[in-house]
Amino acid sequence: MNNFFPLTVKELKKVTSDSVSITFDVPDNLKERFNFKEGQYITLKKEIKGENVQRAYSIWKAPYEGVLSVLVKKVENGIFSSFSNDELKQGDTIEVMAPQGNFVPELNSTQSKHYTLIAAGSGITPIFSILKQILKTETGSTIDLFYVNKTKESTIFHSELAGISSPNLTIHNLYTKESSSDSNLEGRIDKLKCKVLHSSNLLKVDSDEFYLCGPEQMIFDVKDYLVEEKVNESKIKFELFTASGSDKVEEVITDFSEAQITITIDDDDFDYTYNVDKAESILEEGINQGLDLPYSCKGGVCCTCRAKIIEGTAKMKINYALTDQEVEDGYVLTCQTVPTSPVVKVSFDD
């Protein structure tokens, strides 16, 4: 169920000049619901200046640490990120949805793998959680972390990462606005940089699994490079914070002009008429009709708006977030979903 729960802010800590870590107090009766896996995120909801704002943020703590903390980096004109960095106080309450997300490795204490983790900027948050949980759970596994930032000063979790003393972890810090003693580690990661890192034996294309989080361009450049180097796509997992989606949009054509939509949420049913020419998605039209529906990115990259098609058919224009199994099971990202039959029932409760 995609419910929000009011959680109290237990601790606020500045991590860099423009990012803050928010730790929530999770009461005993919600502990099970807020159990999370490494790499997952939570969606936060707050009314800010009269506007209902929902945003997803990755959890940076590892599950074994048992603490629910997210990192919010201030972005230009970011309503929620500015509020979190400048106005939020300890003791305040925020509506929080239970952890979600598929950017999660399947860890097993008996396996010994090599993991390649690649992050840029605040993309480190889910990667940091994954990294710590791997080191804790799989003592025979090794990790190469490539982490791109402008400068050492602006690097999120720089000292926390430097403080991890494990022979199983190698950190490669890349700076785009600071020189390095190794010129291979200067500049952002694109296809050319992948080639350089590969040729210098830093990037291992025979790694067992790859986890990428950062800007869309970096993710797709790395993915393209790895695939060209014959890495099986199933080994490459990525988490996008935003996406243009322009290269992945599926066109949907229907032969009806209106569809009757029924939305089930919190055990209540709501009906509305969907105008095929005007409406953008089942989620958007539901919100226009006054429904309080869960969402975050509205770009098909998180799973916050996930719901199940119970009756009728519908199609997603973009899907960067659901697994093939979830799609097979009838789940959709409602922010990207349009009806392909004149009657569609969608449940946010399943």
Amino acid occupying residue 205: V
Q: How far is the CB of 282 from ligand FES (least distance, A)?
A: 10
Q: What is the Cα–Cα distance from 176 to 173, expressed in whole angstroms?
A: 10
Q: Of 42, 335, 338, 344, which lies in the binding site for ligand FES, with binding defined by CB under 6 A?
A: 335
Q: CB nearer to ligand FES: give 104 or 302.
A: 302
Enter the tokens of residue 28.
Answer: 């005993």
Q: How far is the CB of 101 from ligand FES (least distance, A)?
A: 11
Q: Which of 281, 277, 251 is nearest to 344 (CA)?
A: 281
Q: CB nearer to ligand FES: give 143 or 305.
A: 305
333 binds ligand FES (CB under 6 A): yes
Q: What is the Cα–Cα distance from 84 to 54, expressed in whole angstroms?
A: 12
- The enclosing H or E element of 118 equals strand 114-120
Q: CB nearer to ligand FES: give 214 or 300.
A: 300
Enter the tokens of residue 189.
Answer: 């990661």
Q: Of 20, 148, 321, 338, which lies in the binding site for ligand FES, with binding defined by CB under 6 A?
A: 321
Contact residues for 282 (Cβ-Cβ < 8 A; gap 6+): 261, 263, 274, 314, 332, 334, 337, 338, 339, 344, 346
**What is the contact mask toward ligand FES in residues 281 to 310, using x (rule: CB under 6 A)?**
--------------xxxx-xxx-xx-----
Residue 202 near residue 171 (C-beta atoms within 8 A) = no
Q: CB nearer to ligand FES: give 88 or 302.
A: 302
Q: How far is the CB of 271 from ligand FES (least distance, A)?
A: 22
Q: CB nearer to ligand FES: give 197 or 338.
A: 338
Contact residues for 134 (Cβ-Cβ < 8 A; gap 6+): 38, 105, 107, 115, 141, 143
Q: CB nearer to ligand FES: give 305 or 309.
A: 305
Q: What is the Cα–Cα distance from 172 to 145, expressed in whole angstroms?
A: 6
**What is the contact mask toward ligand FES in residues 181 to 200, using x (rule: CB under 6 A)?**
--------------------
**What is the contact mask toward ligand FES in residues 247 to 286, using x (rule: CB under 6 A)?**
----------------------------------------
Enter the tokens of residue 251.
Answer: 């066109």
Q: How far is the CB of 56 from ligand FES (least distance, A)?
A: 7
Q: CB nearer to ligand FES: give 41 or 147.
A: 41
Residue 286 near residue 294 (C-beta atoms within 8 A) = no
331 binds ligand FES (CB under 6 A): no
Q: CB nearer to ligand FES: give 192 or 249.
A: 249
Q: How far is the CB of 31 from ligand FES (least distance, A)?
A: 26
Residue facing ligand FES at closest CB distance: 335
Angular region, 50: left φ>0, alpha ψ -120 to 50, beta rest: left
Q: CB nearer to ligand FES: give 79 or 205.
A: 79
Q: What is the Cα–Cα distance from 28 to 67, expressed in whole angstroms?
A: 13
Residue 180 near residue 186 (C-beta atoms within 8 A) = yes
Q: What is the Cα–Cα distance from 280 to 143, expressed in whole angstroms?
A: 42
Q: How far is the CB of 302 from ligand FES (least distance, A)?
A: 4
338 binds ligand FES (CB under 6 A): no
- Binding footprint of ligand FES on the chain (CB under 6 A): 295-298, 300-302, 304-305, 321, 333, 335
